[in-house]
């Protein structure tokens, strides 16, 4: 991709946008930075502008700007804009930061998407790749923007392991993943997409550039994920019951490689985490990572913070932080993953509603739940859809939520923060929400 002396517009100046600007500058493009926010609201803008010598256009998205450049690079947080449509109508290429970075990466790319579980699989696969001794970049939606990778040993001749959101996959053209993993597709981001089909199609873009030399990893028996994978040209590998990798006789098993790790040896828990581990096993095998490295990594992997993380035990009641469950599908998976644990579950749910139905939570809550505690902007909606399943109480904040949950719980029960909603009504991030939950649980523990 020839960028020297091309005028390139970067829209959306979060971490990935500023990273894209730096990459463009290294490729000798003339960079223009655009954001609807003003300079004071954009962290790192002054440094990036000074480093790249970029022209700044802030406070609006003028169509005249979008139609006067050679290329538009759109950050994942930027919604569809009239100015973007105007650029496309004028024949100006519009691509994502992921697409831009991929044009300068020559090693093997392993890309992971899905409504739920992608951070766990990305981290686990990244650990397997690093342990293999091959230079490895891990990032994308998780941590470091992909545009930071070009020029590194990993990008030139190693592995790039990427977590990709649907937003990042919206504007890919020639992006090619040697291994593309789609873990699941359930209702999410319906406040951005026209309908579920449009959201699923964005996820499916992960397979678009694949060839017959590549691999697609999807859940066995999932007709939607299988159809999206088969739209590409890759060989399809499946995980889960009846798949190429599955749980069999109390162990994670890859049928082809013979890799086998007993569930008793794992630090991660829950059926959904076992499925994630199976997906990572297949992806690692497709990258050429040895069976021994795969098994060793699985035995030592301890999971991620705020993903089914045990944060305390108070008077025989276990507190689990699953604050990363920012949609209904993730909360359903959390409840299902604890189905065989002793005791019942007091679920804490609510936050900023994302436009989907909470109906899928009814059956697992009826089966395993003891009570429901709701909070945040979506509390009333959650109550309306689920309040007749188990005893329910609405609270004002997390401290009250933890105390209310403890009041419902009995010895041997689990208090599970799995909100099924965004955290942005009350917190800056799901991590901040999870940290508050853990502090509140420890405060109860200290009270005795």
Residue 223 phi, psi (nearest 5): -60, -40
Q: Where are the domains of the chain?
A: 7-92, 99-300, 309-447
Going by CATH, does the domain composed of 7-92 fall within 1.10.3330.10? Answer: no
CA distances to 50, 57, 169, 193, 242 from 13, rounded to whole Å, are: 14, 11, 18, 22, 44
pLDDT of residue 188: 64
pLDDT of residue 189: 60
**Catalytic site residues?**
118, 141, 189
Over pLDDT 70: what percentage of the chain?
A: 98
b/e burial code for range 191-229 (CB count within 10 A of at least 16 → b): ebbeebeebbbbbbbbbbbbeeebbbbbbbebebbbebb
What CATH number is given for 309-447 in this structure? 3.90.190.20
Take residue 74 and report the two structure tokens written for it.
């759109």
Burial level of 347, CB count in 10 A (0-12/13-18/19+)?
Answer: buried
pLDDT of residue 77: 83
- Please tell me the least confidently modeled range out of 209-218, 301-310, 382-391: 301-310
Residue 194 has pLDDT above 80, yes or no: no
Take residue 283 and report the two structure tokens written for it.
């992806």
Residue 243 pLDDT level (bands cut at 50, 70, 90): very high
Residue 58 phi, psi (nearest 5): -120, 160
Residue 448 has pLDDT above 70, yes or no: no
Contact indicator for 293, 128 with CB cutoff of 8 Å? yes
Over pLDDT 90: what percentage of the chain?
A: 87
* pLDDT single digits (tens) 376-430: 999 999 999 999 999 999 999 999 999 999 999 999 999 999 999 999 999 999 9
Equal CATH topology for 99-300 and 309-447: no
Going by CATH, does the domain composed of 99-300 fall within 3.40.1190.10? Answer: yes
> To the nearest whole number, what is the mean pLDDT of the chain?
95
pLDDT of residue 190: 62
Residue 116 pLDDT level (bands cut at 50, 70, 90): confident
Look up the pTM and report it.
Answer: 0.82
b/e burial code for range 265-293 (CB count within 10 A of at least 16 → b): ebebbbebbbbbbbbbbbbbbbbebbbeb
* pLDDT single digits (tens) 138-161: 999 988 999 999 999 999 999 999
């Amino acid at each position: 991709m020839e960028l020297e002396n091309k005028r390139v517009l970067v829209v959306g100046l979060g971490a990935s946008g500023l990273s894209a600007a730096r990459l463009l500058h290294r490729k000798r493009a003339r960079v223009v930075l655009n954001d609807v926010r003003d300079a004071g609201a954009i962290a790192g803008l002054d440094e990036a502008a000074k480093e790249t010598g970029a022209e700044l256009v802030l406070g609006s998205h003028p169509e005249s700007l979008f139609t006067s450049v050679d290329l538009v690079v759109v950050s994942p947080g930027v919604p569809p804009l009239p100015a973007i449509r105007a650029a496309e109508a004028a024949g100006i290429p519009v691509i994502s930061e992921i697409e831009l970075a991929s044009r300068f990466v020559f090693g093997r790319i392993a890309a992971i998407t899905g409504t739920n579980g992608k951070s766990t699989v990305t981290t686990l696969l990244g650990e397997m790749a690093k342990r293999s001794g091959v230079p490895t970049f891990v990032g994308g939606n998780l941590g470091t923007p992909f545009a930071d990778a070009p020029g590194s040993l990993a990008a030139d001749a190693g592995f790039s392991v990427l977590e990709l959101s649907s937003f990042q996959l919206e504007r890919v053209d020639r992006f090619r993943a040697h291994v593309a993993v789609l873990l699941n597709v359930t209702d999410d981001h319906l406040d951005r997409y026209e309908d579920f089909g449009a959201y699923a199609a964005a996820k499916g873009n992960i397979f678009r550039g694949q060839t017959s030399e590549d691999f697609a990893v999807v859940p066995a028996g999932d007709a939607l994920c299988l159809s999206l994978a088969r739209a590409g040209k890759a060989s399809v590998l499946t995980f889960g019951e009846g798949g190429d990798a599955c749980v069999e006789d109390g162990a994670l098993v890859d049928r082809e490689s013979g890799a086998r790790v007993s569930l008793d040896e794992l630090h991660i828990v829950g059926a959904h985490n076992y499925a994630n581990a199976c997906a990572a096993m297949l992806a690692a095998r497709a990258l050429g990572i040895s069976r021994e490295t795969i098994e060793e990594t699985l035995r030592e992997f301890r999971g991620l913070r705020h993903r089914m993380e045990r944060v305390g035990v108070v008077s025989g009641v276990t507190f689990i932080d699953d604050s990363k469950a920012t949609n209904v599908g993730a909360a359903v998976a959390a409840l299902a993953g604890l189905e065989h644990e002793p005791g019942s579950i007091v679920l804490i749910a609510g936050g900023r509603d994302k436009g989907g139905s909470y109906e899928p939570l009814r059956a697992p809550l009826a089966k395993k739940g003891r009570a429901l505690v709701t909070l945040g902007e979506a509390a009333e909606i959650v109550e309306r859809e689920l309040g007749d399943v188990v005893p329910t109480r609405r609270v004002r904040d997390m401290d009250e939520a933890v105390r209310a949950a403890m009041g419902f719980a009995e010895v041997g029960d689990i208090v599970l923060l799995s909100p099924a909603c965004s955290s942005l009504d009350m917190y800056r991030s799901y991590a901040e929400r999870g940290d508050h939950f853990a502090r509140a649980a420890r405060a109860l523990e200290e009270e005795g």
